Amino acid sequence: MKLVILEPLGVNKDKLLGMAKDALGSDAEIIYYDTRVEDTETLVERSKEADAVALSNLPYKKEVIEKCPNLKMICVAFTGVDHVDLNYCKERDITVCNCAGYSTVAVADLVFGMVISLYRNIIPCDKVTREGGTKNGLVGFELAGKKFGIVGSGEIGIRTAMIAKAFGCEVYAYSRTKKDIEGIKFVDLDTLMSTCDIVSLHVPLNDSTKGLINKEKLALMKESAILINTARGPVVDSNALAEALNSGKIAGAGVDVFEVEPPIPTEHVLFGAKNLIVTPHVAFATAEAFEKRAVIVFDNIKKWIMGKPQNVM
């Protein structure tokens, strides 16, 4: 079985290949590429003889997959798989697995990095201090006692909720599947948007979540509320968010994800918005998370070889 690792996965090459050897032994011939490319021609050239491929968030579409006759398994070293043509994979009976869970801790950490940065004006404070200024106009807020809303109650959403509880927040959640979790009040989305001081998004991108947070939903928020998006960019209408920030309809936002992967065009509408913190899709990216992810990748492939695939999408 030929396994092609199509891009670096955030772990030192020797260590990664050692992990692969430990997990797969002689069951796989492993080809590793230490550069990330996205053009169709190169992806086809790299993949064309593979029985299985591993990739993170590279666009992996039908025009690539259809030219890989031996391909039977795609291991996505990521949680979301909207960048892979799942419909065509189903037609071809190609197994697609993800690595859900590897970034749960990392993403939740960044949520609170953004929240605290916004609540305590950390970036403006840094700037004014360097310029010889004072705290005037930069007095912030405490998390304790705030209503914290979680949109999407998967593993990342629930971890975020638990951390919010530790800060002394009153936690609300919205999910398509209502759950019974002590200390979390499940409500409809409109109630959450209108009630909470902080709204953090943790839903996958699909037909039902694209544009979920639109002009109407943003209009429900308190003027003192902030929005955090570490989920997927298209879940939020960027134009509507920019308008809400610039008009003072909401107080601030933290955005890690956009409609496209970084580099983000410098003219993006959000870059002109007030009181906004942006990061380049980095929530999942910690050294610890990358190692967890590699473990899951090779375990997924091992289980697939054994005829017991896991994390199947």
Q: Of 232, 243, 267, 268, which is the active-site residue?
A: 232
Residue 202 is among the residues annotated as catalytic for this protein: no
Q: At residue 178, what are phi and psi to the nearest 5 degrees? A: -70, 135
Burial track 283-299 (b if 16+ CB lie within 10 A, e otherwise): bbbbeebbbbbbbbbbb
Cα 99-101-107 angle, rounded to 5 deg: 115
Q: Which of 60, 102, 37, 108 is nearest to 254 (CA)?
A: 108
Residue 130 is among the residues annotated as catalytic for this protein: no
- Which tokens go with 45? 């050239």
Residue 66 is among the residues annotated as catalytic for this protein: no
Q: Of 155, 261, 268, 291, which is the active-site residue?
A: 261
Q: Which of 107, 80, 79 is nearest to 256 (CA)?
A: 107
d(CA 231, CA 229): 6
**Beta strand pairing status for 29-32 and 73-76?**
unpaired
Q: Of 46, 159, 281, 293, which is the active-site residue?
A: 281
Report, as residue numbers or ranges, the catalytic residues: 232, 261, 281
